[in-house]
Structure 1
Amino acid sequence: MIESLLVANRGEIARRIIRTARRLGVRAIAVHSEADADLPFVAEADEAVCVGPANPAQSYRNTEAILAAARSTGAQAIHPGYGFLSENADFARTVEASGLIWVGPGADAISAMGDKINARNLMAAAGVPVAAGTTEPAADLAAAVAAAAGIGYPVMVKAAAGGGGMGMGVAVDEAALRTEYDKVRAFAERMFGDGSVLLERYFPRVRHVEVQILGLADGRVLALGERECSVQRRNQKLVEESPSPAVSPELRSRLLAAAVRAGEAVDYRNAGTVECLLDSASGEFFFLEMNTRLQVEHPVTELVHGIDLVEEQLRVAAGLPPTFDPDALTARGHAIELRVNAEDPKRFLPGPGTIKTWVEPTGDGVRVDSGYVEGNTVTPFYDSLMAKLIVHGADRSEAITRARTAVAAFHLAGPKHNLPFFTDLLENHEFLSGNYDTGIVSRLR
């Protein structure tokens, strides 16, 4: 097993990785910005290094500062968490070239999946279903208009280098496409340094379902069930559950097999996620993207399968077999995750501030992965995620009941927060039926 691990991230995911590292006897090293010096993950690490000011470009994305911290602390490995440098192939290569262990997939797999057009083409070649769309970037507006005519409106306009729900727009006709193309291209150039744009068929009523994969050290790729992620705002997830209420055993078999093919196509190692769009009426699903990292919503898979995905990541990176029998994977019960964000519950606009009250719920089947405690300040420099409230029950009904109780027992004051939204969602007939899609949040507002 790895002996010392530098966690190149912050907040709840850094705290969560540190928790597993310390349980395994692995020395945990935190890096932090000046703004995060008082957060729990810094105190809970065995050692901590400040890597710069609040601006992520000067701290959490500062590769030179992070590598210097690894050298000065004698770290053996680096875990990037999610976001920041987690899907930066150049950083992964640099880590390994420095003689350190990268806890994640190989840089080639990250590169292959980082470009959405290349990823689509690779998946199509591997027999993974993809929606109608462009096989090369739309070089200019004329090319985009021509491509949309072939695909048929409405179309999704996407940044080829984008991810995490950023850099996307919907065009219902040519006039809208002219606006969205310029908007997405400008955003992509500004955010990703790559203005390449792709077009895909847009599905107005569709579900977002993903499969957790784990590429083992021996070369096998496993599929650890699916997660339903259709409760979203601005194309970003608020609630995830496993298993998906829309997936039948037959569909699950096809979905998981396709995810394994996707992983095998890029010789995938470590944890990753194959995201798909699902038309539950027809049973058709289409590859959306592959996240070459640990997902925010990994706890629902952990609770259903009874494993620690961070531990499995560390074992793969160390060349060790998993803690479980890959030929005897079992799923038990139902899990739901609610992302508790520092944002208002109606418009979902950020509302940072100092936490005056923070009381986490407890009880059977309740887990809270949090990045803050009472007295901490949620700053405007980073993502608004404060905590993840995860519940597990024998079935979906019991999980929902436990979620309602846990939300009511989560006392939070200071920053704005979206707990009232979850109170409403957990009483919503559409959500309770399990027959919902990615438009559910807009219908709740």
Structure 2
Amino acid sequence: MLRVAVVGSGPSGVYAAQALVTQREVPGVRVDVLDRLPCPYGLVRYGVAPDHEKIKSLQGNLRGVLEDERIRFLGHVEVGGPELSTARLRELYHAVVYCVGAARDRTLGIPGEDLAGVHSATSFVSWYSAHPDAEDEAFGLSRVHAAVVVGAGNVAVDVTRVLARGAAELAPTDMPHGALNALAGSAVRRVEMVARRGPSQGKFTTKELRELGTLPGVAVDVDPAELALDPAYTDPAAVLPAGNRRNVEVLRGWAEQGPRDAERRIALRFFLRPVEVLGDGAGRAAAVRFERTVPDGRGGVRGTGTYEDVEAQLVLRSVGYLGVPLPGLPFDPATGTVPHAAGRVVRDGRVSVGEYVAGWIKRGPTGVIGTNRPCAKETASSLLQDAGALARRDLPDEPLEALRAAGLRPVTWPGWLAIESAERELGRTLGRGSVKIPDWPGLLGAAGAS
């Protein structure tokens, strides 16, 4: 029997586990899926916006994999911490697949970024998604009238939408009650989502973009003059891929319909590069200074020396993610990934048989959820090719007992089901559907691991 540990229970980890147990070439593979959190599903639980029920329903598919009798979920297990090093984990399993994602966000690197009111979009998403490590605050929404979101990807669109959306529309979701109450008391009336390049280069999907125009009580503003700076805007069919062309067409439609009255407004801005966050004199953000950019003819932009200040008491940056090193694994800080060859970890120029990577820590923070499936399959294929050599090593009888002996208190699948049950009960007491438990004590208490 080949015993494998998969570190991370998001899509890449679950797909890797599935690929390992469903193949026929190497019979008897057993997989333990380990996660630092007591809850499975990774960014599907803690990164998908609560009002995106269709995408969140992917949890059902991941659940089906984790309920396979050949796969065991072990949550509340931190790899690389004092109780469980990567070297010790390697002793307990024939092979280890690391699917730890990209946990750090990129910064803007501009003056004023340390002012109160400036946050990563990641931290805002974690807060409204009930991640137990999230900042325990309401982001000052009761005193924020104008917000700026820097970025042009789906995460930027998500946080823009949640900031502009009415709390009544979010009440049926599993959003934690504290975040829902904070959004209900929000004073935000204008959100500006700002990109340094043009509309044809946006990284958002058309479905996400179009959704901004369907929010009750919200108007979307675009400046035709900014759109026209993009050479591809005037004739998108001739030069753009289909997805980018559809984005431009949506923006053109909003530009042509002109302004309309609404309680809240979203402005989509282009060709503006943030250069400084301006303070109010009391240590809080008051505005963002942007430099106007124009296309440089090589796919990038250049500054023009013309500046514009945009009011903002809340600034959320959404300019990408970076992987973080895991103690005991090689790491390339330039790419934020673990060096690998077809998923096999590479140490000092040589393949380390028995150690593998999949997902963002393997390829960088690119692609959508479905991109993880072929990525995981490639890694699983490499591991299975090594199975003959891997299985010759004798292992301890039971990794779970070894983890407990080291002082860890793993949350197994019944513990996760108990958390789900507690969240349904919490929602019932609040007059809502299932509501996420947002803190470590609550999650571990519900799982029986406190």
Which bin holds the TM-score, normalised by the shorter protein? under 0.3
Q: TM-score, normalised by structure 1?
A: 0.26
Task: Select the structure of larger CA radius of gyration.
Answer: 2
| Greater relative contact order (Cα < 8 A, sep 6+) | 2
Say which structure is richer in strand.
1
